[in-house]
Amino acid sequence: MSKPILIVEDLTVYYYTLKGIVRAVEEASLKAYSSDLVALVGESGSGKSTLGYALLNLVPPPGRIVKGRVIVNGVDVLSLRGDELRKARGSLISMVFQDPFTTLDPVRRVGDQILEVLLEHGVPLEEARERVVEVIRAVGLPERMARAYPHQLSGGQRQRISIAAAIALKPRVLVADEPTTALDVIVQKQIMDLLDDVRKTTGMAIILITHDIALAAERATKIAVMYAGKIVEYGPKDKVIGDPLHPYTKALLKSVPDIESREWPRPIPGTPPDLRKPPSGCRFHPRCPLAMDICKRKSPNIVEVEPHHYVSCWLYEGGEASG
């Protein structure tokens, strides 16, 4: 394979709240290549959205990126400051958000909102106007919609506009934070088709943040499973879904209802830990059916068990694969 388009190394994000330090993301590492769709799955509060924001160096206070690197197309986003950082957002790495009902400014025409993004990145007016039309067509909307106000559009149409604004500058990486959660299933499918189309035609890598494992299984090329701020397993979709290694991934897959199987979904016992005081050692050990002594004492490293398939679990540390 060619060089990765996105390299995330040891990314660590803490929230410094009055009630203590919340260790939201701990030493997350990822790689994504051109046209990849990496699904970041995990429960609410597992840190997946925080990780998404961190990729744009956009963690809201009191959050802070403690360490790590985010390299997009050879540029370390976290080392950028001021105007350079601002320009990298949108043109190098961009983001689409969950709720299309609040992501657009209600008092301005949607075309102008896309135009603004282009102009603020130094695209000349004439060219920017043409790009707006182009990109609105590219997301499958008629050109005249540029003149509409957000309230005149449906949820799906608004999400298309949000995507149009996010990809207008042809960024190399697009972070999509639950882009379909607020939409009904038919529109969900259309939006996912659109994102698929975008990444295949432009080679953009998409980081899809979702709690919907079925969606990840269907659309992603790679899946990263997050638990309590850590990436516990990461690899090609077929491996992670078809042959999961980490006990959490296994439990997670069993907790999802499956219409074809006769088995009942099985919830994971216990609750996710309080990230102000994460458990010692492996953060999953209190809920893990296979927990060993060492799991309580030491945190496992993330190791490449088979090519491109990484897992962070004492069962695999040292490379010996066992069930």
Q: Binding residues for other proteins, per CB under 8 A?
A: 56, 58, 83, 86-91, 94-95, 97, 99, 102-108, 116-117, 120-121, 162, 165-166
Q: How far is the CB of 259 from other proteins (least distance, A)?
A: 34
Distances in Å between the alpha carbon of 13 and those of 103, 106, 116? 24, 32, 31
**How far is the C-alpha of 21 from the C-alpha of 86, rounded, in Å?**
28
Contact 19, 276 (CB under 8 A): yes
Complex with other proteins: residue 52 or 300, whichever CB lies closer: 52
**If you ran DSSP here, which 8-state letter would residue 49 be given?**
H
Give me the least distance between CB of 83 and other proteins, in Å please.
8
Nearer to other proteins, 102 or 152 (CB): 102
Of residues 124 and 323, the one with the C-beta less far from other proteins: 124
Rg for the chain, CA atoms, rounded:
20
Name the minimum Å distance from CB 40 to other proteins. 16
Helices (H), the chain: 48-55, 82-91, 110-120, 125-138, 155-167, 185-202, 213-219, 237-242, 247-254, 293-297
- In the complex with other proteins, the residue whose CB is nearer, 120 or 130, is 120
- Shortest Å, Cβ 56 to other proteins: 6
What CA dihedral angle connects 72, 73, 76 and 82, to 10 degrees? -80
Q: Which C-beta is closer to other proteins: that of 61 or that of 307? A: 61
Query: Minimum CB separation from other proteins for residue 164, in Å?
Result: 11
State the Cα angle at 193 between 208 and 187, rounded to 5°: 90
